[in-house]
Structure 1
Amino acid sequence: MSNKSNPTSRSATPIYRDVNLQIVISITLMELMGTMSINPVLPGIVQDFQLSPQQIGWVTTAFVVPIAIGAPICSVLADRFGRKAILVPSLFLFAIAGVACAFAQNFHTLLAWRFLQGVGAASLEALALTLISDLYAGKQLTSAMGLNASTIGVSLAVYPLVGSGLASMGWRYTFALPLLAILVGIWVWRSLQLPEKQPYSDFDFKVYLRNIWSNIRRFEVIRLLFIVVALFVLLFGAYLTYIPTVATSLGASEIEIGILLASMAVSFAFASSLLGSFARLFSELTLIKISFFIYTLALVITPAIEHIWMLLIPSILFGIAHGIVFPTTQALLAELAPSTNRAGFMAVTAVAVPLGQALGPVLGGLAFSAWEIRGVFYAGSIFAIATFVFLRYLIPHRIKANHG
């Protein structure tokens, strides 16, 4: 039995006007800020600290490593002590450490502050998804996941522009942006309304982990995780890795490649923002099938393109497909999350995303070695078709929520 008491479900107010969802989206924006706004300032850091090109990658690595390690830990703590008790201090640490980066006098100090900023960011993405599954159910859950995902697409286009604009005055100015996380933290504490939840009277960590494992092992969950891995294999194994190569072979400049990638981000955001409308017309299974059909179409036509700007077609198609399928699978996984350890469950299932991101370039590289650039896209299209054919076995019917 769900313990959700979201007032949105009982009113005609559009979900995008729900303050709770606006707060969740702001949390997602803070986590994305930690990487997307910083990438444009890396050349300035190299110049200021007289670094080699190989060293600058540590600015991102120092931020990402504590997220990978800390996300599951923060999720366990959120299930034990409550969402706000973890989110608010995390946002404050993210802000303070982020601003401190602007005052770093040497590279090692900068990396130390970036690491602490990553510690602050560790809970944000996983708990944002957890909050959505705490607050919404059914079609509203799918719609909320779509709007949150559209935030990712918008940030992919906007944050680099904002970061570049601030970096034009000096790279240190970009690190003023994390101050916004303090305002978000105050907003979370004062305004986020969560369903009532019975506190743990006797928290048993072994039982907690056993419950998560038993839920992860469910066949419905495994099938959905396979789909998540598959879609990120396609995105990172074909599109993001090799579309720039195709564009370069057609004479594209760096700016033109950037426009192509931005078109994917914009179409991703647009499709995700409409997911609520799509979900009222089609089942989740149908939406996933449509997405893999679009992936296949984009992959098949790419090798035949002979003009740079025609690459906008597969770019936009990829964005539309990803904008539909990714939040849809997130919503289905959220429906399967048990209420007593939802944060831990969502953190563990999130491992499917980096797994697909890691496998994609490797499999794409193998296809390139065997059949060159055309083979990458044809192999990807065969993989997409195979996934499409087997979708009826992967999701035979709408998954029912289980909040035990």
Structure 2
Amino acid sequence: MGQTTETAAQAAPIDEPAATVPWRSRTVQIVLTSTALAPLGVPLISPALPVFRDVFGVTDAQASLLVSTYFLVGIVLSPFIGILADRTGRKRVLVAGLLAFGALGGAMAIAPTFEALLALRIAQGTAAAAIFITTVTMVGDAFEGAQRNAVLGANVAVLSATAALFPVLGGALAGVAWNAPFLAYLAAIPIAAFAQGGLEEPDRPAGERGIAYLASAGRSIVTPALLALFAVAFLTEFLLFGVIFTAIPFVLATAFAPVLIGVVILASETASMVVAAASGRLARYLSNEWVIAFGFACYAVGFAAAWAAVGVLAMIGAVVVIGVGVGLLMPVVDAAVSDRVTTEYLAGAMSLRNSTTFLGRTAGPIAFAGLAITAGFGYEPLLLASSVVAVVATGVAVVAGPARLARWHAHPTAR
């Protein structure tokens, strides 16, 4: 942000080599290091949900609250975190979020009751929202065009890489002690020190504050294109967290150990990482709408394959296809939002996008566990229903894609 590396990158044409990721940029290094923590929130503990269920004597639906409550407060507070990031600076909010994330997470290891554990998860989710919002906002501030897609793709690739490892780590640690996975959260504290010492905070112009700012930011995103992108963000996360991080672990838990469940999630995250890393290159040839269409098509195929899977190898093949869809969808949504919002309101817009993302992550586990257990549908039929929903989403994106693609070919720099 404001550094020479980023300024030069912004000035370069998007068809030049600068459309790659500037790995030596301190902003990129801090963003990617902070992003590496994000999987500690859910993928680390997702394979251990059956363990927490048994230790505390709760139901599947109650155990799934360890996923959904992590995002609950962030749905409401994300816009206000966006205000802080725009008015007081990205650095202050990021560092505070990292410190709180680490301290609250470590405290979970000594939670005496399930209710205390849930309370800490809710508070930690607010800190996680600060990390999510500030990292993607810093990328939107510092980069443009296909290079922005490339950096956001690298961001998702790092997210997927660490998320691929943490489920295995979480499953293994849960096999040692039910609370051992929570000690990993303490890694956020040294990363906060790195951000404090290494990130420069540029001066920001005076402007609207408080609720007036939020109202203006809200008006700036009430357009059909941006609202559609928020809907894509919600559906992407709703299906991902409902299927990959809730339904599939409980389906596999009847026959496999937590560490093997972690291996299945690892396969999905690895596919996400590989595809997301190519996001910058895809952005030079495909419109955002076509990438979204291909992403939902992968969801449709992967969910149907998971429903039909017999054995762990077939399930791994299914989640790999789903992971490809994640790698296509996640970077392009943030890139498209950044394209359509001015810097003045970028953190606010990203915070509202974060609210829709957190809503999807919260609603997915609750809906899937509730329908499967409380309503008695079971998890397998929900996998097939998810495939049908993804087919519909693919059709909507295909209808929108050709018009956007035609405009892009006519004005290739107007992305």
Task: Please give the alpha-carbon distance, in whole angstroms, between the structure 2 residues aligned to 1:83 and 1:378.
Answer: 38
1:93 aligns with 2:97: no
1:133 to 140, 143, 152: 140
Structure 1 position 141, deviation (Å)? 0.8
Structure 1 position 346, deviation (Å)? 0.6
**Does the 8 A contact of 2:71 with 2:359 survive in 1?**
no
**Does the 8 A contact of 2:276 with 2:331 survive in 1?**
yes
Task: Please give the alpha-carbon distance, in whole angstroms, between the structure 1 residues aligned to 2:228 and 2:112.
Answer: 49
Sort the Cα spacing of 1:182 and 1:165 in 2 relative to 1 into closer, same or farther, 3 A.
Answer: same
Structure 1 position 393, deviation (Å)? 6.6
1:223 aligns with 2:232: no
Task: Please give the alpha-carbon distance, in whole angstroms, between the structure 2 residues aligned to 1:57 and 1:380.
Answer: 22
**Does the 8 A contact of 2:30 with 2:195 survive in 1?**
yes
Structure 1 position 320, deviation (Å)? 1.0
Count of matched residue pairs? 393
**SS at the partner of 1:36?**
coil
Task: Please give the alpha-carbon distance, in whole angstroms, between the structure 1 residues aligned to 2:392 and 2:289.
Answer: 18
1:279 to 272, 278, 283: 283
1:182 to 179, 189, 196: 189
1:321 aligned residue: 325
Task: Please give the alpha-carbon distance, in whole angstroms, between the structure 1 residues aligned to 2:169 and 2:140.
Answer: 31
| Structure 1 unmatched runs, 5+ | none
1:84 aligned residue: 91
1:383 aligns with 2:392: yes
Task: Please give the alpha-carbon distance, in whole angstroms, between the structure 1 residues aligned to 2:25 and 2:360.
Answer: 32
2:57 aligned residue: 52
1:347 aligns with 2:366: no
**SS at the partner of 1:35?**
coil
Sort the Cα spacing of 1:317 and 1:176 in 2 relative to 1 into closer, same or farther, 3 A.
Answer: closer
2:212 aligned residue: 207
Task: Please give the alpha-carbon distance, in whole angstroms, between the structure 1 residues aligned to 2:75 and 2:383.
Answer: 34
Sort the Cα spacing of 1:304 and 1:19 in 2 relative to 1 into closer, same or farther, 3 A.
Answer: same
Sort the Cα spacing of 1:44 and 1:218 in 2 relative to 1 into closer, same or farther, 3 A.
Answer: closer
1:68 to 65, 72, 75: 75
Across the aligned residues of Structure 1 and Structure 2, the Cα RMSD in angstroms comes to 4.1
Of stretches 136-145 and 329-338 in structure 1, the one that deviates more from structure 2 is 329-338
Of stretches 19-28 and 62-71 in structure 1, the one that deviates more from structure 2 is 62-71
Of stretches 280-289 and 208-217 in structure 1, the one that deviates more from structure 2 is 280-289
Structure 1 position 327, deviation (Å)? 0.9
1:22 to 29, 32, 43: 29
Task: Please give the alpha-carbon distance, in whole angstroms, between the structure 2 residues aligned to 1:135 and 1:353.
Answer: 23
1:154 aligned residue: 161
Task: Please give the alpha-carbon distance, in whole angstroms, between the structure 1 residues aligned to 2:107 and 2:391.
Answer: 49
**Does the 8 A contact of 2:100 with 2:124 survive in 1?**
yes
**Does the 8 A contact of 2:75 with 2:358 survive in 1?**
no
| Structure 2 unmatched runs, 5+ | none
**Does the 8 A contact of 2:307 with 2:383 survive in 1?**
yes
1:37 aligns with 2:44: yes
**Does the 8 A contact of 2:38 with 2:159 survive in 1?**
no
Sort the Cα spacing of 1:304 and 1:102 in 2 relative to 1 into closer, same or farther, 3 A.
Answer: closer
Of stretches 282-291 and 166-175 in structure 1, the one that deviates more from structure 2 is 166-175
Structure 1 position 181, deviation (Å)? 1.6
Sort the Cα spacing of 1:117 and 1:277 in 2 relative to 1 into closer, same or farther, 3 A.
Answer: same
Once the two structures are superposed, residues 2-36 of structure 1 have per-residue CA deviations (whole angstroms, 9 ceiling, x without a partner) of 98961461685843443321211222233432333
Q: Partner amino acid for 1:124?
A: I
Structure 1 position 178, deviation (Å)? 2.8
Task: Please give the alpha-carbon distance, in whole angstroms, between the structure 1 residues aligned to 2:30 and 2:99.
Answer: 15
Structure 1 position 318, deviation (Å)? 1.7
Question: Superposition pairs for residues 217-296 of structure 1, below 5 Å?
Answer: 217-232=222-237, 235=240, 253=256, 258-296=262-300
**Does the 8 A contact of 1:153 with 1:266 survive in 2?**
yes
**Does the 8 A contact of 1:66 with 1:118 survive in 2?**
yes
TM-score, length-normalised on structure 2?
A: 0.76
**Structure with the greater alpha carbon radius of gyration:** 1
**Does the 8 A contact of 1:88 with 1:186 survive in 2?**
yes
Structure 1 position 220, deviation (Å)? 2.0
Question: Superposition pairs for residues 110-125 of structure 1, below 5 Å?
Answer: 113-125=120-132
- Percentage of identical aligned residues: 23
Q: Partner amino acid for 1:290?
A: F
Structure 1 position 289, deviation (Å)? 3.5
Sort the Cα spacing of 1:78 and 1:384 in 2 relative to 1 into closer, same or farther, 3 A.
Answer: closer
**Does the 8 A contact of 1:215 with 1:221 survive in 2?**
no
Structure 1 position 319, deviation (Å)? 1.1
Structure 1 position 134, deviation (Å)? 1.3
Q: Partner amino acid for 2:339?
A: E
